[in-house]
Amino acid sequence: MMKRGSSDLKLLVVLTVFSAVSGLLLALVNDVTKDRIAMVKVIKQQKALLEVVEPFDTCETETLLNDPFDPVEAFTCKKAGAVTGIAVKISSRLLSAEEMKKLNLSDSLKQPQAYGDPIKMLVGFSPAGKISGISFLEHKETPGLGSNIEKKEFKANYAGAMVEGKKWSVKKDGGDVEQLTAATITSRAVTASVVKAIEIYKNKAKSLNIIK
């Protein structure tokens, strides 16, 4: 007859092994999931680049603000050695004074926040100073309201417009951007982010001697 102490010890060993194996499997699943999510984000970003700038052979990436969750990046895209476009990865998150200074942005720029989490986007520019496209990488705006930023009618506020000569604020605030119905907060957040992208584009274009 098996003693009680021996039985308890075996049970403890079994539970320990089971817990260890379960933990290992969970860690492996998490790693695979994280890798898959990261790959999906990379693919989505590459697709967005193709949407917002003219055709290119190569794109050089410069990390301007190395935030682990929300970096600010500039992409210089070229074809046969000539710049075909510059894209800026930006979001609507509130940048600190130190971050604004690092990006060479005026601390007077308004930074209205989105309704949900920061809206992450890619804004493309032509060498001539025109916004060639805008693509949203990630957002959690209200379906049917703020989520309408994805519609081409809203994107038309930006795509095709010259960076100069337009009042970059929503019409409700006296600007030229048509805000979304019942989603003015979201519209303001997107427009303010585009303004930051424009300033980053100008700085980048000047460094490349594209504009003076």
CA distance 37 to 48: 16
Residue with tokens 């967005």: 48
CA distance 177 to 175: 6
Residue with tokens 């200074």: 101
Q: Could you give the C-alpha distances from 3 to 10, 16, 138, 170, in angstroms and in order?
A: 11, 20, 60, 79
Task: Note the pLDDT of residue 42.
Answer: 72
pLDDT at 112 over 80: yes
Confidence of residue 177 (pLDDT cuts 50, 70, 90): very high
Alpha helices in 53-71 (DSSP H): none
Q: Tens digit of pLDDT for each residue in 22-47?
A: 667 676 656 656 666 666 777 888 89
Nearest residue to 168 via CA among 194, 146, 186:
194
Phi, psi of 46, deg, nearest 5: -65, -40
pLDDT at 2 over 60: no
Of 5-19, 79-93, 118-132, 198-212, which gets the smallest average pLDDT? 5-19
Nearest residue to 170 via CA among 158, 160, 152:
158
Q: What is the mean pLDDT of residues 195-204?
A: 97
Q: Tens digit of pLDDT for each residue in 55-111?
A: 999 999 999 999 988 999 999 999 999 999 999 999 999 999 999 999 999 988 999
- How far separated are the first and last CA of the chain, in Å rounded? 92
CA distance 174 to 171: 5
Nearest residue to 91 via CA among 201, 197, 176:
197
Task: Note the pLDDT of residue 123.
Answer: 98
Mean pLDDT of all residues belonging to the chain: 89
CA distance 59 to 85: 9
Nearest residue to 120 via CA among 99, 139, 143:
139
Q: What is the mean pLDDT of residues 136-150?
A: 96
Which pair of tokens denotes residue 70?
Answer: 């929300």
Which pair of tokens denotes residue 28?
Answer: 């492996």
Task: Note the pLDDT of residue 7.
Answer: 66
